[in-house]
C-alpha cells in the first residue's frame, strides 16, 4: 500500500468501514448492530463463522482513539458476538484480532478455528491474501448462518 493511500485511510478518506455501510456486499452480510459496533458475517467462510465486528460511531483507527466507555463497550460486545458465533459453529478454538493493516478503521476479526482448517496451528494470515483459500457458502446456507448467529446475539 502506498504511503499516500495509507495517509488517506488514516483520515477516513475513502474508508470502506465508515458508516453508512451496506447491509450486504461482496464481502459481508450484516448480522446485527450493538451499542458501538455492528457484526457482519464474512462472505468467505473458509473458517466457518468468520465475522467482522466494526466500530460504528465514527472513524477511529486504534483503541486509544476511543473513550474508556467506548472501549469497554467495544470489548463487551466482542464477548457477546464471539460467544454467539461459538454456540452456532462449535469451533475447536477462536482467534480474535484487531490489526487494521489494510483497513485501519477499528474492527475485530472473529475467526473460528478447526483442527481441519487450512492453517490450523498458525494465524490465518501467514501467506499473501491472493494465495489464501476462499470458500463461499451457497446463498441459502450463508443466510441461514447469519440468522442463527443473529438469534444468539439477541
Ligand atoms: Zn472509517
Sign of CA dihedral 87, 77, 136, 123: negative
| H runs (alpha helix) in 12-64 | none
Q: Is residue 80 pLDDT above 90, yes or no?
A: yes
Backbone angles phi, psi at 125, to 5 degrees: -105, 40
Q: Is residue 82 part of a domain?
A: yes
pLDDT on residue 40: 98
**Which of 17-31, 58-72, 107-121, 125-139 has the lowest average pLDDT?**
125-139
Q: Is residue 154 pLDDT above 90, yes or no?
A: no
Cα 12 to ligand 1 centroid, rounded to whole Å: 5
Q: State the CATH number of the domain containing residue 147.
A: 3.30.428.10
pLDDT on residue 133: 82
- For 115: left if phi > 0, alpha if psi spans -120 to 50, otherwise beta; the answer is alpha
Q: In the chain, how many domains are there?
A: 1
Percentage of the chain beyond pLDDT 90 is 86
For the stretch 123-140, pLDDT in tens is: 998 777 788 788 899 999
Q: Is residue 127 part of a domain?
A: no
Cell numbers found for residue 38: 455492528
Cβ neighbours for 85, distance < 8 A, ≥ 6 positions apart: 49, 51, 94, 110, 112, 149, 152
pLDDT on residue 70: 95
Q: Is residue 64 part of a domain?
A: yes
Cα 20 to ligand 1 centroid, rounded to whole Å: 10
For residue 108, with 0-12 CB atoms within 10 Å meaning exposed, 13-18 middle and 19 or more buried, which class applies? buried
pLDDT on residue 23: 95
Percentage of the chain beyond pLDDT 70 is 100
Q: Is residue 38 part of a domain?
A: yes
Cα 86 to ligand 1 centroid, rounded to whole Å: 27
Q: Is residue 128 part of a domain?
A: no
Q: Is residue 51 part of a domain?
A: yes
Q: Is residue 54 part of a domain?
A: yes
pLDDT on residue 127: 74
pLDDT on residue 126: 78
pLDDT on residue 125: 84
pLDDT on residue 97: 95
Domain interval for residue 72:
3-121+133-153
Q: Is residue 126 part of a domain?
A: no
Cα 101 to ligand 1 centroid, rounded to whole Å: 13
Amino acid at each position: 500500500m502506498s504511503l499516500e493511500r495509507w495517509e488517506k485511510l488514516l483520515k477516513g478518506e475513502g474508508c470502506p468501514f465508515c458508516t453508512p455501510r451496506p447491509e450486504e456486499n461482496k464481502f459481508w452480510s450484516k448480522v446485527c448492530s450493538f451499542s458501538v459496533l455492528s457484526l457482519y458475517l464474512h462472505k468467505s467462510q473458509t473458517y466457518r463463522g468468520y465475522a467482522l465486528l466494526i466500530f460504528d460511531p465514527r472513524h477511529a483507527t486504534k483503541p486509544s482513539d476511543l473513550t474508556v466507555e467506548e472501549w469497554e463497550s467495544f470489548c463487551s460486545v466482542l464477548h457477546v458476538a464471539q460467544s454467539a458465533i461459538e454456540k452456532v459453529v462449535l469451533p475447536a478454538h477462536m482467534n480474535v484480532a484487531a490489526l487494521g493493516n489494510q483497513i485501519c478503521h477499528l474492527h475485530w476479526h472473529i475467526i473460528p478455528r478447526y483442527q481441519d482448517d487450512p492453517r490450523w496451528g498458525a494465524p490465518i494470515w501467514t501467506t499473501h491474501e491472493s494465495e489464501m483459500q476462499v470458500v463461499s457458502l451457497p446463498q441459502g446456507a450463508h443466510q441461514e448462518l447469519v440468522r442463527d448467529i443473529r438469534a444468539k446475539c439477541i
